[in-house]
Amino acid sequence: MTPNKRPLEPAAGALLSDDIADLLVPGVMVEVDAAEAESLGAFEETALTEAEAWDANADLQTDEARDGE
């Protein structure tokens, strides 16, 4: 939903469906409830933790980290 709590309108020419099987059909916009969306991974958190971000910098040489190269 949009910030003002109105459902989004489908794009011009798009078909609206509530059948999950239509997800791969071009031009079809599928409406799912929150439980279905979560089961499909829509709300899966994939962000790095702070520790993982620091570990990702471990292989940079000191000059590269400073110069941004």
Q: What is the pLDDT of residues 43-65, one digit of tens each?
A: 777 888 899 988 888 777 665 55
For residue 43, the 8-state DSSP code is T
Q: Which helix (H) or strand (E) holds 29?
A: strand 28-30
Nearest to 1 by CA among 28, 26, 31: 31
Q: Is the pLDDT of residue 5 over 50?
A: yes
pTM: 0.43
For residue 45, the 8-state DSSP code is -
Q: Delimit the domains of the chain by residue range.
A: 15-67
Region 28-46 average pLDDT: 86
Q: Which pair of structure tokens corresponds to residue 62?
A: 């000191």
| The predicted structure's pLDDT at residue 54 | 87
From residue 55, alpha-carbon distances to 20, 28, 43, 44 in Å are: 39, 42, 25, 22
